[in-house]
Structure 1
């Protein structure tokens, strides 16, 4: 009896879901169930194959064990290649790409273009590795990055290596979006309220924390959509707005002409010590490397696509990736090249988002500038949904593991309100978090994007030892980890020299 009780406790725990992160495939149109031997009410066990023909036994499974069908990432698998492209575009293109001309100001035309091209190809290769690993074993799907890491590296090592980076890149990105979106709302109000003579109107302006609260409330209101697949149209809006404002920034920067005394020489001074030059170069490379993101939600996006034994989700996902990255390349490369051409080494450290209004304030109407700010705000709101979804999913895994039942609409709403309140509190407490983005991104985004996919491929696919593919992935993953360490060291040195204005609770 004790053994039966222990076995039942095991099945009710989260471990069952972690070990089998997605369900084994059943015949088409049948529900996807976790690949474990479920404990029936009479104390006996039955295999999945025995339970397939019986709707009653399937219902018993759903009543007694957490299922992917309960969770927001995999609740709906009716997506397609276009939906995947919408999600990828919405999560990959963002305000971080507006920083690329800053990197070119340090690296120059040639090395800037080379580094940007290499980073683009490298992270795209890592994406296709992840797409393949999503269903590396027929019948098993890994719809969460953390679970794939645990399958590749082992439960303990996978959690140690991937838990913090994945959770930071989800929750931390949401905090960054609140700070950026709320700050842009404040800038929008200031722009529209400012008179032609430069004086601000008498309208009451909200404080920084109040703008953060407005942004968070709107973001959590949108987040009430039940699952990731239901947010496809939200991601479409985010993709359109992000492509639009990225295009407007570089087109208008070129059209309005260059400021006076623009120079394209490297910002590296001859008076700098070799260590200082290396640090500046690494910081510039860090800007380029961190401009590409979204790998931590890629498997989750692929988890919304249908799959069965006859046709996997790899084909539509590859189509979605291909479509989205054609558009991403059409945004990223012009932003970097045209932005650097327009401003040279006079580019503001905040990138095009601050340089454009600084140099062309008198050449563009406030309503046009306001429209660009609105596009940035809308994209921040929609991108928030993609990065918050893994956190919602993780919290619901905890709930379903404890309660052994699906989250009710009320519980789901409370979970999302809790997350919204937590991210709002962190954004108000640490409004200087963007100044730590290079340091934190080097610790989290670089391994997740550039190194882990290569090592996971080696662990799970087990290519021929000392073969070309094996050596290539070992080298690429090792360089990725080395790059992460170097970028962390350069970011720490920069913070030590420049200091950190830690304006706690004063956004």
Structure 2
């Protein structure tokens, strides 16, 4: 999207009070929702000299877990973005929801995001380094697999594009992360946030690009077509050359990263639950009620992971349906808020990207439905 920094600024600069929620479901089956940050109306002339005190939160925002604390900084925003932006797309929740009660707001889990960021960079580096260091199998091929029809080939291409788009998923919680930063009229939060975005996505690119290139170079089309099987490729092709300790270490690091990432995405759900409660009761949630919300959501998520282990197979379909929330609607929202001159450069870029996102969403959904119809879906309930 053109002028990404200006879009981030809008989270803190809209004069009227807004609160719109847009559900998004990533390929990891975690719900994430883009929630514009609610701010108070601009100060009157008498209040121009007043200290905003870390952002002059709307009273209700001070009760919610995302905007309760404005003590974040560029470093904490960077950790949040890296942790949410890199991750094995999996449901791994047995221990996650039990620890959520300890963290009252998003800013309080900055150290969890730090651990998640370190583990994400660590396992990506270990996987591509092992793939290159152990060499390639002797009979690999880089030719595309044989397809029975042109439609099958088209569906495979569209699914591949969908995987690439869904991989960059962390920006769906970008506004929530910005809500942890202090903001004032003299020092708006978008400056720190922009530095965090720049650093984090540079690191994310440095992790994902080598992983994709090295994985394709090492295994070619021998990587299983089922979901998230590059780890299986490392174990199958290089397991006899790699110590059990190294393979076990990679698995442990991935487990830690999944638990850390779940904290960030689940905080968005908790914020919405508490927003509905505070809207009705006009008071903050008590500690015991907050515990109930979090244990309930964690239990539901864990039950879904156990009962519906085939959900990752639906990732292309779900991702295609929710893709406009991340790649199309923000462009149209920017045009509606900034109101650039029609047919100007920025107007054309955002309108073009928004329309491209909608078209791509339709194509991905059609391709996903075609693949499911052609290959079928093994709905193995309660059989992970």
Shorter-chain TM-score bucket reads 0.7 to 0.9
Q: Is residue 2:168 matched to residue 1:303? A: no
Structure 1 residues without counterparts, runs of 5 or longer? 1-15, 35-61, 97-175, 179-214
In structure 2, relative to structure 1, the CA distance for the partners of 1:22 and 1:414 (3 Å cut) is: same
Residue 79 of structure 2 contacts residue 110 of structure 2 at CA under 8 Å; is this kept in 1? yes
Of the three residues 338, 345, 357, the one matched with 2:214 is: 338
SS in 2 for 1:177: coil
Partner of 2:339: 462
Cα deviations by residue, 1:3-43 (Å, 9 ceiling, x for unpaired): xxxxxxxxxxxxx7738933346633547243xxxxxxxxx
The residue correspondences of 1:76-225 to structure 2 (distance < 5 A) are 76-96=69-89, 176-178=90-92, 215-225=93-103
Kindly report which structure 2 residues correspond to 1:227-376, keeping only aligned pairs within 5 A, or say none: 227-267=105-145, 269=146, 272-349=148-225, 350-376=228-254
Q: Cα distance 1:33–1:380, how it changes in 2: closer, same or farther (>3 A)?
A: closer
Structure 2 distance, partners of 1:353, 1:226, is: 35
Structure 1 residues 348, 470: CA separation in 2 closer, same or farther (over 3 Å shift)?
same
Distance 2:204 2:242 in 1: 26
1:28 corresponds, among 32, 37, 51, to 51
- Matched residues in 2 for 1:24 and 1:381: separation? 38
Deviation at 1:308, TM superposition (A): 0.6
Residues 32, 69 of structure 1: 8 Å contact kept: no
- What CA distance in whole angstroms lies between the structure 1 residues aligned with 2:97 and 2:295? 10
Whether contact under 8 Å (1:77, 1:229) holds in the other structure is yes
Look up the match of 1:163: none
Deviates more, 1:78-87 or 1:353-362: 353-362
Q: CA deviation at 1:475?
A: 1.0
In proportion to residue count, which structure has more helix? Answer: 1
- Structure 2 equivalent of residue 18 of structure 1: 19
* CA positional deviation for 1:425: 1.7
1:404-463 deviation line (CA, Å, top 9, x unaligned): 11111111111101111111122222111111111101111x212211111111111111
The alpha-carbon distance between structure 1 residues 244 and 223, as it changes in their structure 2 partners (threshold 3 A), is farther
Which range is displaced more, 68-77 or 472-481? 472-481
CA contact (8 A) 2:80 2:177 kept: yes
Structure 1 stretch displaced more, 384-393 or 447-456: 447-456
> SS of 2:374's equivalent?
helix
Contact 2:96 2:298 in 1 (8 A): no
Deviations 1:109-132 (A, max 9, x none): xxxxxxxxxxxxxxxxxxxxxxxx
Runs of 4+ in structure 1 over 6 Å off: none
Structure 2 CA distance, aligned partners of 1:220 and 1:500?
32
User: In the TM superposition, what is the alpha-carbon distance from 1:361 to its structure 2 partner?
Assistant: 1.4
C-alpha change, 1:78 and 1:409, in structure 2 (3 Å) is same
Q: State the aligned residue count.
A: 344
Deviation of 1:287 after TM superposition, in Å, equals 1.4
Note if contact 1:259-1:343 (Cα within 8 Å) is conserved in structure 2.
yes
**Partners in 2 of 1:177 and 1:223 — Cα distance?**
19
RMSD between superposed Cα atoms in Å:
1.9
CA distance in 2, matches of 1:498, 1:434: 15
Equivalent residues of 1:25, 1:308 under 8 A apart: no
Q: Is the 8 A contact 1:455 1:477 kept in 2?
A: yes
Q: Which runs of 5+ in 2 are unaligned?
A: 1-16, 21-36, 44-49
In structure 2, the CA distance between the partners of 1:223 and 1:499, relative to structure 1 (3 Å rule), is: farther
- In structure 1, the residue matched to 2:376 is 499
Which deviates the most, 237-246 or 453-462?
Answer: 453-462
Q: Residue deviations 1:210-231, cap 9 Å, x none?
A: xxxxx43344314521100011
Q: Which residue of 2 aligns with 1:377?
A: 255
Greater C-alpha Rg:
1
Query: Taking structure 1 as reference, are residues 24 and 305 closer, same or farther at Cα in structure 2, changes over 3 Å only?
Result: farther
